[in-house]
A and B are shown apart, each in its own frame.
Chain A
Amino acid sequence: MKTWRRHTLSGYSWLMLVFLYLPIAILVLYSFNDSRINATWNGFTWKWYVSLFDNRQVMQALMNSLSIGVISSVLATVLGTAASLAIKHYSLRWRNVVNGLIYLPIVIPEIMMGLALLVLFSQVHMELGKWTLIMAHVTFSMPYVMVIVSARLADMGKELEEAAQDLGATPWGTLRHVTLPLIMPGIVAGFLMSFTLSLDDFIISFFVAGPNSTTLPLYIYGLVKRGVSPEVNALSTLLIASTVLLVIIAELFRRKDSKNGQIHF
């Protein structure tokens, strides 16, 4: 009876994994396929990975994605961390309301947020392009940074900061030498999270992108009409690999974090 149950459970787990990862495995597999169209398997080749790097458009899209990702996640991390600190340290009158409002963008459907941003930008006659994309990405990733950093701040408690100030540290000194080091794992995890979100985003980017700001997801989507070439499979493979890597790094930080201070978020 016991072995039967164990077999069923492990079988089920494996089935779930297959369900989740089979499509990705196929995508990766076809990036090595020696045929222009993802229809039949013609043999193994590396050529799509090579021609990928000669494709100016793909490379441009990659550069756009990376630069927008880095800039927007740094901004989101700085602004988000500052906001978390402000909310924690100053008793705002409507703290709970403010808290709720800040997390709202996480649950608002992306398509509405994209539309809202597009309407805003065209109302203020801001030309669509890289900067509108960066602003939009900051908007949707900042709440994630705040969730992570606030959780970290809440678990930290007030005691250490109060102790530092009792011992004569200036507010700036307390922030610099006590608070920031303690919440740093949360900040780093928030940064990586926003970078990943920015790299993957399609819907919001679709609304606010302009000339010379096509990101990778937008470019790939555009290929649908003429048939997605294996170069895109190759690129997606690289993208998945780098996203996975980032998630693993973020997870390592989180683990380290929870081991040190029994903190979970």
Chain B
Amino acid sequence: MKRFKSMMIGALTAVLAVTAVGCSSSSEPEQQVLNIYSWADNFDLDVIKDFEQKYNVKVNYDVYGSNEEMLAKIQAGASGYDLIQPSDYMVATMIQLGLLEELNKENIPNMKNIVSTFKTPPFDKENKYSLVYTWGITGIAYNKKYVKETPTSWNDLWNEAYKGRVIMLNDPREVMGMALIKNGFSNSTTNKDELAKSFADLKKVLPSVMAFDTDNIKQKMIAEEAWIGTVWSGDAAIINGQNPDVEYVIPKEGATIWADTLAIPKGAKHKDLAEKFINYLMEPEVSVKNYESIGYSNPNEQAYPLHSEEYRANKMIFLDKADIARAEWLVDVGDTLQEYDRYWTEMKSGR
């Protein structure tokens, strides 16, 4: 009995201690709090710490695993977040649903630093609600040990020699978009014939595909289970860092470009602070530190000359201007999305 009693007392003391700690940290009156809801590993933690010290604020950084998850949370209301990072197409959806606050551009003078290509993205043409934060292009990553001829076209994925070694992203718009681009159409077509033709073509590559897998694509390329596949440029850089045999190209037909943005959800309590943080992230020096740590492409033109040789020499991060010009954004296809999904289901169930 004594033992139980002391255990219970111990447990109670622990609770009191924990609640006391919780209270003291939440009841500091003057300190403003910025609540970020974002992808994991999307900021250099030192950059956040610097921001906290410089402005004497506290930053909470929570993570989600997909755009749809984030949307569900914001839609439910009362989420309490001040800054979110929807991807391109999700920005369009959220604007339509009225879930985003307009950015006060006076608070973000540094937005002039963004490279001109990203000042007019199709999902938010005047940067009214969002600013591009990280971006990349979905190209072909290949292991030169097994893929002897440098791929130049999406057609190279169809090569019989790579049977069972082709990997693709697990995303209907990305995969169908790739097939559409290969056949000379727009990656966001609403023309049913174009879709049908591209799908028929896509079916031919199916026997070669080992997996549709976004989450483990890096592991599979590094471990050389997959030889060739559709990979985001930033991921290609990470893969290349672990396995230098893996190279990356953007095929001549063009490719899909994507971005994760910075945006403020409707009703955010600390909108000014969120804008202050966005502005801080776009200071050239800060962005250099931030992007070299997270290893993705920096949209900040003023920062380019400040980046290290190594970062600038990396073709998977410092993408070629001509490639960017050829790349195409995925845009909302309206009701045609059902067609995309139908083809996607048919393809995956047919395996």
Contacts and interface: CB of A to CB of B under 8 A. Distances in A.
- Note whether A and B form a binding pair: yes
Interface in B206-230: 214-215, 218-220, 222-223
Contacts of B22: 67, 130
Interface string A104-134: 0000000000000011011001111110000
Interface residues of A, number: 45
Interface string B240-252: 0110000000000
Contacts of A225: 39-40, 65-66, 214-215
B51 to A, nearest CB: 14
B62 A211 contact: yes
A213 B25 CA distance: 13
Contact of B80 (A37, A56, A129, A185): A129
B28 to A, nearest CB: 13
Contact of B218 (A122, A209, A227): A227
A237 to B, nearest CB: 19
Given A70-B14, A222-B64, A226-B39, A36 B78 contact: no
A212 B4 contact: no
B82 to A, nearest CB: 8
Nearest to B11: A74
B23 to A, nearest CB: 11
A188 B242 CA distance: 48
Interface in B22-42: 22, 33, 35, 37, 39-42
- Interface bin, chain B: 35 or more
A14 interface: no
A13 to B, nearest CB: 32
A38 B225 CA distance: 13
B340 interface: no
Given A71-B15, A71-B19, A224 B65 contact: yes
A159 B64 CA distance: 55
A57 B7 contact: no
A57 B38 CA distance: 13
A110 B65 CA distance: 19
A181 interface: yes
A223 B11 contact: no
Contacts of B79: 128, 210-211
B63 interface: yes
B62 A212 contact: yes
A204 B305 CA distance: 47
B1 A181 contact: yes
B202 interface: no
B135 to A, nearest CB: 15
Given A39-B222, A225-B65, A211 B80 contact: yes
A8 B265 CA distance: 61
B78 A37 contact: no
16 contacts: A36-B241, A37-B219, A57-B61, A67-B19, A71-B18, A122-B76, A126-B78, A184-B4, A211-B60, A213-B62, A214-B62, A219-B63, A225-B40, A226-B39, A226-B40, A226-B42
Interface of A: 35-40, 55-57, 66-67, 70-71, 74, 118-119, 121-122, 125-130, 181, 184-185, 188, 191, 206, 209-214, 218-219, 221-227
Given A38-B219, A225-B66, A226-B40, 6 more contacts: A39-B219, A127-B78, A128-B79, A210-B78, A211-B33, A211-B81
For the complex of A and B, 10 pairs with smallest distance between CB atoms = A222-B63, A211-B35, A212-B60, A39-B222, A39-B223, A222-B40, A39-B219, A67-B18, A226-B41, A214-B62
